[in-house]
Structure 1
Amino acid sequence: MDFELRILGSSSATPSANRHHTAQVLTIGNQHHLIDCGEGTQMQLMLYKIKHQRISNIYISHMHGDHYFGLAGLISTMHLQGRQAPLHLFGPPGLAEILTLQLKYSGTNLVYPLIFHELDTNCHKRIFEDKQLSVYTIPMEHRIPCCGFLFKEKVKPRPLLKEKLPPHLSPPQLVRLKWAEDIKDEKGNVLVSYKDVTGEPKRSRSYAYCADSRYKPDIIPIVRQVDMLYHEATFLDDLRDRATYTFHSTALQAAELASQAAAKKLLLGHFSVRYKDLTPLLEEARQVFPNAELAVEGSVFYVEE
C-alpha cells in the first residue's frame, strides 16, 4: 500500500517566483490527506495531477494566511465540480467561522457536506481514526494557536501461510488468525495457534508534520522514531535570535530535534524568502542529521512497508 508525501508548497509568509505557500498531500492507500492549504494550492494539485475529489480530510495547522488562504478557493472548486462526498476540515478555533462567512457572502450553498472539527492545539490528542490510520495533534509553539499532525498506520494483518493451514477452517476463523487470535474450542483449548500459521505483519509507517514553531524539544516523545519528520526551518542558525523572536526554527534546530527523536528521515520546509539558494540550509542540517532533505515543490517522499 502506498505511503507517499507530495510537497506542493515550501515558502514561509511571503511566496517567491518558484516557491509556493505551505501545502502537502499525504497519500495512504487510495486516500489523500491535505496538510495545510496556502494560496495557490489547487493550482499545484492540478500541476501534479492530484485529484482533489479524492481528498477526504484537510488539516490546517494554524490561522496564518500562508497556511490556509487557498482553502476557500479549493472548497468552492469542489462545489462547482459537483462533489458529493463529505469533506472533513480539522483546524484551530476560527477556521469554521471565517469559512462560513466566506461561503455566506459569496452566496455559496455547498452541494456536499462540509464538516468542521475544531482542535485543541495545546494537547496531543487523537483527532481521526479509520481502519488503517490514526491521526494525532502535536502541540507547537507559535504566535497564535498552532499544532502539527502525526499520522500513524495501525497494526496490519498477519499473512496466512497457506501451506501450514489445517483444512476446513471457516472464513471468520481465518480472519481471526490474521489478527493474531488463536482458534479455540468451547473449553478454551487452543486448536490452531496464529503463531504457527501466519507470518509477521508488514510494518506500520508514520509521518510527523511539525508546523510553524520555535524549537520545542518537549514534542520529542510524541515524534520518536517516526519514519519521516517534517520540521519547519525558516532560517539558518546565524539568525537563531530572529527565529526565536518570530516563533520559528532554524535548520540546525530542526536537525537537532530529528536526531534526539531518532527519526529515520528529516524534511526541511517553510523557508524564508531571503534564501534564494536553499543549499546552505540543507548543509547546516546535515551536519547534525545526515538523512535530511529539502521539502521543495514537486518533491515526493516514500516510506516502504
Structure 2
Amino acid sequence: MEPFRVHILGCGSALPTLRHNATSQVVEVRGKLFMVDCGEGTQVQLRRSHIRFTRLRAIFISHLHGDHCFGLIGMISTFGLLGRTAPLQIYAPVDLQPILQQQIDFFCTGLEFDIDFHPVDTTQRNIIYEDKSLTVETLPLEHRIACCGFLFKEKPLLPHIRRDMIDFYGISLSQINNIKQGADGVGRDGLPIPNARLVQPATPARSYAYCSDTRYMPQLHQEVKGANLLYHEATYGSESEGRARMYYHSTAAQAAQVAAAAKVGQLMLGHYSARYDNEKVLLNEAKTIFPNTILAQEGLVINV
C-alpha cells in the first residue's frame, strides 16, 4: 500500500513553550508532501524530521493567527536560498495575500519560483486541491476569525488483479488495465471470463481530517464521518470548558465526542495550552469517551 502519513512538526498553541513548537504538520500521500499550517520554528522542525524542503508541493493555512502562519515567510525565503524552481501552491484565507506579497517584495526579491496563491472560502466546504489520486476539501470551523480545517481524501482505488486467475484462464497482459476498470476478460480459448472472477475488492480509500482551532461544533462529526484519522484541537481540559467557549477553543472531551459521533478510526489531540506541563490529563479525559485516542507530539509520524 502506498504511504499515507502525518508528520507532526508542532502541536502547541499560541504561547511559546520549551516543550512544544507552534502548529505545523506535513501530510505525505503517495510520495507527495503537503504542509498544513506553518507556525514559527517550522523550518527547524523540518530539519529535525529529515523532510526535504524542496519536496513540499503546497502549503495549507487554516487561519491567520500567528502560531499558524508566522513561519511562512521564512520558509519561502529558505526555498529561495535552496534554489527552488518548482511553483509553490499556497491555500489560505484571502486576507493573507496582500500581507504575504508585501513581505515577499521586501524580504524575498529575486525568487526563481512562482508562488501561486489560492484564496480559500472558510465558510464553505469545497474541494480546493485535486490530483489523480487525492482531493483536499475545506472544513468550516468556528473560531474568533475566519478558520477552516482540511480533509485529505484518497480517490477510490482500483480493484486488485487476481494473478492466479489471470494465469489459470490465460488472460493476456494487454487486458489488465481494462479488467481493473471493470471489463470482462477473454481467456486463451476466446471465451469471456466474468470480471468478478479476475479481481479482488480494492483497498478502501483513506482519509485524514485536520480540525484546527475551533470551539466545539456538535455538527462537525457529519463533516469528518468515517475518517481514518482525525486531528482535533484540545487546547483545554474540561475544567476550563468556560474558557474554551470564550476563546473559541475545544476541550479534550469535546474532541472525543466529535470522534465518537463521527466513528473515526483514531483521534489525535493537539494545540495544547501552555498551562499543561503534562498532556496526559487531556489524553485520559478523551479516552473515557473515545478510547482510540493519542497525543500529537513533535517528531511523531503516524500512518493513516
TM over 0.5, shorter chain: yes
1:168 Cα deviation from its structure 2 partner:
6.0
The equivalent residue for 2:274 is 273
Shift of 1:199: 1.4
Q: Measure how far apart 1:80 and its partner are.
A: 1.1
Q: Which amino acid aligns with 1:27?
A: E
Alignment of 1:1-305 (within 5 A): 1-106=2-107, 108-165=109-166, 166-167=169-170, 169=172, 171=174, 173-182=175-184, 191-303=192-304
Q: Give the letter aligned to residue 278 of structure 1.
A: E
**2:149/2:210 contact within 8 Å kept:** yes
Give TM-score scaled by structure 2 length: 0.94
Shifted more, 122-131 versus 194-203: the winner is: 194-203
Paired residues of 2:171 and 2:185 also in contact (CA < 8 A): no
Contact 1:266 1:293 in 2 (8 A): yes
**2: CA distance, partners of 1:213 / 1:90:** 19
Distance 2:171 2:43 in 1: 53
SS at match of 2:281: helix
In the alignment, the residues of structure 2 paired with residue 109 and residue 220 of structure 1 have an alpha-carbon distance, to the nearest angstrom, of 45
RMSD in angstroms over aligned alpha carbons?
A: 1.5
Mean CA deviation greater in 96-105 or 32-41: 96-105
Aligned CA distance change for structure 1 residues 107 and 214 (closer, same or farther; 3 Å)? closer
Paired with 1:266 and 1:290, the residues of 2 have a C-alpha distance of 9
Which range is displaced more, 173-182 or 212-221?
A: 173-182
CA contact (8 A) 1:103 1:109 kept: no
In structure 2, the CA distance between the partners of 1:183 and 1:123, relative to structure 1 (3 Å rule), is farther
Q: Deviations over 1:230-258 (max 9, x none)?
A: 00000011111110110000001001111
SS at match of 2:90: strand
Change (3 A) 1:121 1:162: same
SS of the residue 2:289 aligns to: coil
The alpha-carbon deviation at position 169 of structure 1 amounts to 3.8
Q: Cα distance, 1:121 vs. partner? A: 0.4
Whole-angstrom CA distance in 1 between matches of 2:87 and 2:79: 11
Which piece of structure 1 moves more, 151-160 or 17-26?
Answer: 151-160
Whether contact under 8 Å (1:25, 1:34) holds in the other structure is: yes
| Structure-2 separation of matches of 1:162 and 1:291 | 37
